[in-house]
Amino acid sequence: MNAPKEQLRREYEGRLRLLVPGDAAELKRLPLLELVPPRIRDSVVAKIRPYAHFLDFAPGQVVVAAGEYSDSVYAIVRGAAVVALEPAQPVTRRAQMKGSPPPKPAAASAAPGRVQTLGAGDLFGDRSALSRFSVSATVSAWTPLRVLRLRLPALRMLTAVAPELRRTLDQRYRDETLSQQLRRVGLFAEVDEAAIARLREQAELMSLSPGQLLAREGTLADSFYLVRGGYLKVSVDVGGADLAVTYLRPGDFAGETAILFDQRWPFTLQAVEHAELVRLAREDMAAVAGDQPRLNDRLWQEALARLKTRGAVARNPVASEYLQMAIETGLVHGESVLLIDLTTCTRCDDCVQACADTHGGQPVFIREGKRYRNWLVPTACYQCTDPVCLVDCPTGAIRRSVGTLEVTIDPATCIGCSNCATRCPWDNIVMVETGGARADGKPEEVAVKCDLCRGRAEGPACVSSCPHGSAVRLSFKDMDKVRSVLR
């Protein structure tokens, strides 16, 4: 019996027993809820209760760990927490089990900037929840700690009706994160610090709901937008038909034509899902671009490339259908999507056997799934740009290492909770029995998914073993290659 895994499972099940909706009266007394107008407070509390939970932590327990993904914001109700801003290595749930206490607040005097303390009324976790970045620092209980955990749907409801809360979260993001995110975008990689500081102060933060229009083709283009979370569809009207041209994902931008040409929008921009954006007025962005030759050159390159793509779609509307299919099916999220050409596939199952041979006898994909024209999309992990399966893994068993593409699962720390399988929108993670038994007598299960045969020199076995070249892998970032392969 794997004692550490059993202990992790017991800890997780103990936390689940505490996850009951917060008492309405207690919720209404919190300073956070006092920001909601009194006339609608009761109805708002009723709506957020399914996504709001009070959690208690003993000193030394980890609330959130660096490197995890979370869809929740936490508000401290009572007690104190310590934030390890620069841990030597991420604190995992497994490390928490060993009982290592968090750094003491007093250490701040010996190592300035390495720790920070939080008290009643303080918030944390909002950056990761809204923008889907991994958690940047470990937060642990310093004293007996009670926190209110708000899942993302509740946070969105509150920010919609409590402008002061929205302003607070936006300011935190502006102060702590925006400069770093601008630097990650190639467009701003060589912009000087003074320009970055100006953009940070001038930026407006926006949220869009699924389907909400951001800009309509032909209307005045007066803004530059940077996507910090979610996806946007970029489309053009051709003969009354709305044709998809491309899409924007976190780190992408739109509005270069507004800055360079002072013209109307050549596209329509629409949120595919909940999206978070940074808006810069045309005048502010143009002023910075005028002082930064490399930035100006990059804007010209992007503008010409997009206008060229727009022209290609207008001349050949069929070219749009692949992108539209990707958006509608979710493939647009995929960094490495397995496709099988059914016109050449003989159903020999060499791909499945090679997968099983690489993974200890257990294949990690299923040769069945959606079909598009002559192509099969098997049940295999897409290695999404924004992998929601990573959210709320109680042991950190599912992870994506920094700088890598593969999302992997560690069977030694997977406790079979099925959170990742439930969260995967495409049903590409399955639960399988290991043949062992849990301490309670139930069959032991672990989550299984494609990991691109990580570490295999020849790459994914499903592709290299196909005798007919029927199996391919595509990134739906590269729509030109997608179109050339799928045509």
What are the angstrom distances between the C-alpha of 247 and each of 90, 151, 227, 480, 482? Answer: 33, 27, 11, 13, 14
Strands (E), 85-240: 115-118, 123-124, 138-141, 145-151, 204-208, 213-215, 223-229, 232-238
What is the pLDDT at residue 99?
39
**What gap in Å lies between CA 161 and CA 158, rounded to an integer?**
5
Give the pLDDT of residue 16.
Answer: 65
Residue with tokens 């992108």: 323
What does the mean pLDDT of the chain come to?
85
How far is residue 314's CA from residue 245's CA, in Å, rounded to a whole number? 9
pLDDT digits (tens, 9 = 90+) for 449-487: 999 998 898 899 999 999 999 999 999 888 778 878 887
pLDDT interval class at 442 (50, 70, 90):
confident
Confidence of residue 363 (pLDDT cuts 50, 70, 90): very high
Separation between Cα atoms, residue 82 and residue 140, nearest integer Å: 5
**Percent of the chain topping pLDDT 90:** 37
**Are 78 and 99 contacting, i.e. CB atoms less than 8 angstroms apart?**
no
pLDDT band at 17 (very low <50, low <70, confident <90, very high): low
CB atoms within 10 A of CB 2: 15
Q: What sign does the CA torsion over 177, 181, 184, 188 have?
A: negative
Closest CA to 335 of 372, 398, 386: 386
Residue pointed to by tokens 């299960």: 445
> What is the per-residue pLDDT for 404?
81
pLDDT at position 397 over 60:
yes
Only one residue has tokens 């490495």, namely: 336
The SS3 call for residue 64 is strand
Q: What are phi and psi of 102, to 5 degrees?
A: -70, 165
Asked if residues 415 and 12 have their Cβ atoms less than 8 Å apart, the reply is yes
- Domains belonging to the chain, first-starting first, are 3-161 (2.60.120.10), 178-326 (2.60.120.10), 331-486 (3.30.70.20)
